[in-house]
Structure 1
């Protein structure tokens, strides 16, 4: 369950607001009949896919039939009530109320709800969840639609959430500890710094005092009646919406909503649901905060709008949003170019106009930089804004932005019938909460095709004049506080604001780039063998052997209309480097791909790829090297060309590498000051003590010593023989085209029959009984890691059993540590057995908690594990895990990403792909004895207890 500090920034199609509530969805007209360009004042349509209704008590509902995934309905209960509505005695109770809906309702007494849902395969946290923000609370419940009893229970749960929480004194007191532990997880430098400038973002606004998580003091001491009063006042049907999207007919879903929610009553004389804004200010506010534990440095500039957010009611409003979207695309293209230059002024920088808090919007420019580069980063952000204000964008920039804008819309349009239900519900939630538009992707794509060509450069250029102003402005700088580092002063910031305003700034030069990635195609190789690997249950998988020795394995699917995913690997990786070569290249390998290919730099590549969706990213890891990528069917050849060029013509660019090193060192910044990160790094060193090949987390000195020449040489060696690579493609594949492209761009690569293998080394991480205590940080928070590991002979059945053991123990840890002890917000266990680079097992338990509880909860965790070692898990818990695994797999079987991973992993691990076909029978065959056996075999030989504690 999540407390959200800021509103989620949705895509352009979702973030603009829609007109006042409409009870019944309008029918979308065709654009030809609509005359949208000629009638800009016409209201936006509502997608005909959704049925919107309202009960007599004011509850709104959104219903859509959607068959992906099969046999599942995504249910949401959205409430227009969040922390902003809390009275002074209720701080943090909107979020606390969310917790209580999982801890005792009319139909599900304490813990029965989670227990029931786990019993039908729905995982707490992963599937079942909720979140609270300033202005809304949303409950999330996916439920099977092919079982009437489960469906009825799902709606009963939503009904209970809507107003049937019991809120007993005992349940409230039991939950205080859990919510305080969630509060504890948020403590740290970012929270401390934010608390000092939030009142400047939300100037003279209640928002500044209503962070959803609340205060520790009030969470510990609030009166029971304060929580009950919040529920009575705000959990009412006229502030609620039920969203139901999934594989069930609309009529049935509508009837379920009416049966379960018609009986809800609004309170007599309901308290008005106020809207809260923030005031304008004439001066420029400057907030400069630093903290000993801040991990990095950031610059933010807010030009706050003087009025409230303009809602998107008409077609003209929607067109205005398109213009703003093009502006955002172009300004960020310019800022992105800086990150690829030598000595870049920031790690990343971006600008956009959007919401900041409540109903207030602002034009915002943000950058992350190194600890001494805040003023330089601020200068670049300000200068780019000023450059656009003086000179505007270029026509060539606008054309590229239009192509990219339309390409993204086209992809969504082509996949409009392949959207998963959980990707649809969000737009309806936002339509209810803030009237965001829902015209539908079909209307949006058709409208963009017609209207994008009519958007003039002058329109886009004119926006920034309204965005930039000297009043209602805020500059926020945050970063680390440490010896020898000078803090930027407010006077320096104000002086820079004035200097840039009066500076001589040159116009932007948009350099032309070549139009073709590969002007001349390579001489074709050939397919020497074609073999069908699998048929029937998992559909056909085909393997090609090419004339240079490469193999291509592909699976044609219809899961997405506009998606093809790609991977390739070859054994070897850095395991074939000497110890010295490994150390010299470990911090350099990531920088290899900052260079371009065949003389095309990264900035030029961005321009060249306008209107195309294709990407390829090589890698070199410990035991293998390879590539990952994706494309649309239309841009498949572009992806193949990139594959070919990364094998043959990766550029060597010392300036690009220097830029990479600069960004990495800036990113490192003060990262070790973060207690959790520092603990993780120190634990890694402890576990690998004595390992001559351990490189660990890089330092600035490591980056200074990174050997680019050697890394580039080794890359060329690793990718010299394409015949040693296996290539994988999954998606909406045209087989004839794929074979032609494979012969052209992969079979033509240099290759032979030589096959390499990764090398395994004798060193093993620490295992058995050890204790590692690490002190870092000032906040009262700890992290506990319990680690079991050692050599093992890989066995597929045991691998399944130890993984299931992790899932079972996670259930027991939540029951014991969270629900019974109230000592953690979350806890989990994970187990695995691997065969590469050598047979080994790993089992871990981890959770954050209060320092004073670390030992007690660690011991309680081991006690829960020992129960399983002694008696095995219960059949009930075993059944919960099996159902969750099978329910998850049912969804995975309809995903390209899953199949790509499964096919590649079968080859990589030299395992049987039939395990995918036999997954259900293999899981159902698991017994409590199997789990007990692996627990006894692997988890009785001692463990490493690693605990992070705050400094004394």
Structure 2
């Protein structure tokens, strides 16, 4: 019951957020426990900047509407459909449940007296009883929660000049006045037309082949689209999708970069085809399928996932992103208002300001790297945004698609031929453009001072070397990063007590130039940061001069072997592995265990020495202002 009530409340309020002129950046409602024995109906709203009073009044009004009239039959039916669909997926994957999910369930059993009859019983019970639940019964239970003593109202907002939040007496008076409001029941509209109204003519499959190295199939469609797929047994009810095409924002003029950077966000808020975002969400009720486009610096593409039975829906959504993205002025204006508010509030956090400074310093203030702030938002143009999005996805024939999961080839191939094979394409193949975005050369040291509530220093250390993008180089880099993480935990955390944790990341990239980086960052006492910086460099130098500790090497290798064994049971890992193999020729499967076992001190020592001798290091500190 609580689940259905929460789903319906959140769906209703998400619609309110998307209405023209809405004062909300976000709003939700849910049944929750404030103590082990007391449940409440909680409502939480995040106002747009300058709309605080209006948002508060609107939230009170909508809660009052819910109290008087309850939920609608359409809301009720959608919530039941969504709940049953969600439970069906859990049931289908019952043999692959993770231990932590069971631990959480047993914990709730002992701490909250939650029953643990098992998913088989729960799913059968839901299927048998959910159809018998009536809207009147549910509204009666919701009304108990909506008693004035059981409601919690929350307004989120920043502490800044110009925003005045109400006193307790004012808020209580506003709540009391809600009883006198003239309200009507919620109207629920819904269009049951198909996602794609016209009949599609399937394209032909021109060629099929099997990759014996990683065990995936390849299909070449007549329109030039490549489709790779691998059937796996790891998740009974999951199919994942990714797609990529070279180009990205590297092909966009500098003046259009702000619009391009936020194009996906706006398009995602605009719906697809004849459906705006609200009606699309209603249409997809009970469907476990999602697709999201992306545009990054060097490529554009999609990520998506679905249940087995909703594969067709995922492909329909993908088809529509190519053929019918929506240009919705109201959705655009709403997105801009929300982004404006988000960045205004983010600017109050010194950590966000530091991240902008960090990016500018690291890339020598390159004009194609945009700050995440209000000034960038104000440079967005809706027409330019829509044009650049459609340009990036104008030629599906330039895309490679990859699917991994519980795939039946006999049903999969006709669907792919229909929804991808029917797309109009040309034979033009784009590639990305090198706009000379490079890291600033080190050695470099900078201090950024900000007013901080908590007096701490954030240390960011970035080593860089030129290095070919190969499997062995990448594996050695990962090993070095893991070794340093062990050393910094032992020194900075355990011996010095100077930081709770030290993050160490080793990453390799191929574009625009092949490089390898080590990034170390942590928070510490301003009085200690200089000594901690010394430890960071000393530990890397020790590995470069003396080689790594054999015991540490053994720990890292053991952990890498464990990760490899676990990764091979994950669809997400296979997605990444097949993608990297197809694009870069990197095979992260064949003989990987032997490669890990063969890792030794001398090879890691050589790599560490290259980082030290290159001396291309950037140290950037966030310091409390004096």
Q: TM-score of the superposition, structure 2-length normalised?
A: 0.96
**Which of 731, 736, 742 is residue 416 of structure 2 equivalent to?**
742
Counterpart for residue 495 of structure 2: 820
- Structure 1: how far apart are the matches of 2:152 and 2:196? 47
Counterpart mapping for 1:331-370 below 5 A: 331-370=9-48
- Structure 2: how far apart are the matches of 1:893 and 1:491? 59
List per-residue Cα deviations over 1:825-882 (Å, max 9, x = no partner). 1113221221123212211111111111111111112111111111111111111111
Counterpart for residue 589 of structure 2: 916
Q: Give 1:472 shift.
A: 6.8
Counterpart for residue 73 of structure 2: 395
Residue 622 (1) aligns with residue 297 (2): yes
Counterpart for residue 312 of structure 2: 637
Residue 607 (1) aligns with residue 282 (2): yes
- Structure 2: how far apart are the matches of 1:942 and 1:562? 48
- Structure 1: how far apart are the matches of 2:252 and 2:416? 30
Counterpart mapping for 1:875-914 below 5 A: 875-908=550-583, 910-913=584-587
Counterpart for residue 723 of structure 1: 397
8 Å CA contact 1:387–1:507 kept in 2: the answer is yes
8 Å CA contact 2:26–2:45 kept in 1: the answer is yes
Q: Give 1:388 shift.
A: 1.8
- Structure 2: how far apart are the matches of 1:782 and 1:357? 37
Counterpart mapping for 1:247-646 below 5 A: 323-471=1-149, 475-534=153-212, 538=214, 540-646=215-321
Q: Give 1:675 shift.
A: 2.5
- Structure 1: how far apart are the matches of 2:93 and 2:232? 13
- Structure 1: how far apart are the matches of 2:357 and 2:487? 29
Counterpart for residue 751 of structure 1: 425
List per-residue Cα deviations over 1:520-550 (Å, max 9, x = no partner). 3311101000000126xx5x31000000000
CA pair 479-517 structure 1, distance change in 2 beyond 3 A: closer
Counterpart mapping for 1:3-22 below 5 A: none
8 Å CA contact 2:70–2:143 kept in 1: the answer is no
Q: Secondary structure at the match of 1:754?
A: coil
Counterpart mapping for 1:45-124 below 5 A: none
Counterpart for residue 532 of structure 2: 857
CA pair 338-384 structure 1, distance change in 2 beyond 3 A: same
8 Å CA contact 1:338–1:345 kept in 2: the answer is no
List per-residue Cα deviations over 1:231-255 (Å, max 9, x = no partner). xxxxxxxxxxxxxxxxxxxxxxxxx
8 Å CA contact 1:657–1:708 kept in 2: the answer is yes
- Structure 1: how far apart are the matches of 2:453 and 2:71? 48
Q: Secondary structure at the match of 2:309?
A: helix
Q: Give 1:629 shift.
A: 0.7
Residue 769 (1) aligns with residue 449 (2): no
- Structure 2: how far apart are the matches of 1:506 and 1:869? 74
Counterpart for residue 304 of structure 1: none
List per-residue Cα deviations over 1:29-74 (Å, max 9, x = no partner). xxxxxxxxxxxxxxxxxxxxxxxxxxxxxxxxxxxxxxxxxxxxxx
Report the count of equivalent residues. Answer: 624
8 Å CA contact 2:463–2:617 kept in 1: the answer is yes
Counterpart for residue 511 of structure 2: 836
**Which of 925, 933, 944 is residue 606 of structure 2 equivalent to?**
933
Q: Secondary structure at the match of 2:366?
A: coil
Counterpart mapping for 1:678-717 below 5 A: 678-697=353-372, 699-717=373-391
Q: Give 1:473 shift.
A: 5.9
Q: Give 1:337 shift.
A: 0.7
Q: Give 1:454 shift.
A: 0.6
- Structure 1: how far apart are the matches of 2:152 and 2:597? 59
List per-residue Cα deviations over 1:323-381 (Å, max 9, x = no partner). 22222111111101122223332222111111124543321101222343333222232
- Structure 2: how far apart are the matches of 1:635 and 1:379? 40
Q: Give 1:508 shift.
A: 0.6
Counterpart for residue 618 of structure 2: 944
List per-residue Cα deviations over 1:115-144 (Å, max 9, x = no partner). xxxxxxxxxxxxxxxxxxxxxxxxxxxxxx
- Structure 1: how far apart are the matches of 2:575 and 2:493? 37
Q: Secondary structure at the match of 1:349?
A: strand
Q: Secondary structure at the match of 2:142?
A: helix
Q: Secondary structure at the match of 2:528?
A: helix
Q: TM-score of the superposition, structure 1-length normalised?
A: 0.64
Counterpart mapping for 1:127-138 below 5 A: none
CA pair 947-457 structure 1, distance change in 2 beyond 3 A: same
CA pair 515-901 structure 1, distance change in 2 beyond 3 A: same
- Structure 2: how far apart are the matches of 1:367 and 1:534? 53
Q: Give 1:554 shift.
A: 0.3
8 Å CA contact 2:306–2:314 kept in 1: the answer is yes
- Structure 2: how far apart are the matches of 1:879 and 1:454? 60
CA pair 471-642 structure 1, distance change in 2 beyond 3 A: closer
CA pair 715-514 structure 1, distance change in 2 beyond 3 A: same
Q: Give 1:588 shift.
A: 4.0
Counterpart for residue 146 of structure 1: none
- Structure 1: how far apart are the matches of 2:180 and 2:337? 30
- Structure 2: how far apart are the matches of 1:792 and 1:573? 24
CA pair 368-868 structure 1, distance change in 2 beyond 3 A: same
Counterpart mapping for 1:185-196 below 5 A: none
8 Å CA contact 1:814–1:826 kept in 2: the answer is yes
8 Å CA contact 1:767–1:789 kept in 2: the answer is no
- Structure 2: how far apart are the matches of 1:490 and 1:806? 53
- Structure 2: how far apart are the matches of 1:627 and 1:343? 31
CA pair 454-502 structure 1, distance change in 2 beyond 3 A: same
Counterpart for residue 783 of structure 1: 458
Counterpart for residue 732 of structure 1: 406
- Structure 2: how far apart are the matches of 1:477 and 1:639? 36
CA pair 841-685 structure 1, distance change in 2 beyond 3 A: same
Residue 803 (1) aligns with residue 481 (2): no
CA pair 476-723 structure 1, distance change in 2 beyond 3 A: closer
Unmatched 5+ stretches in structure 1 = 1-322
Larger radius of gyration: 1
Q: Give 1:427 shift.
A: 0.9
- Structure 2: how far apart are the matches of 1:473 and 1:748? 52
CA pair 589-519 structure 1, distance change in 2 beyond 3 A: closer
8 Å CA contact 1:585–1:707 kept in 2: the answer is no
- Structure 1: how far apart are the matches of 2:356 and 2:447? 13
Q: Give 1:690 shift.
A: 3.8
Unmatched 5+ stretches in structure 2 = none
8 Å CA contact 2:40–2:150 kept in 1: the answer is no
Q: Give 1:576 shift.
A: 0.6
Counterpart for residue 342 of structure 2: 667
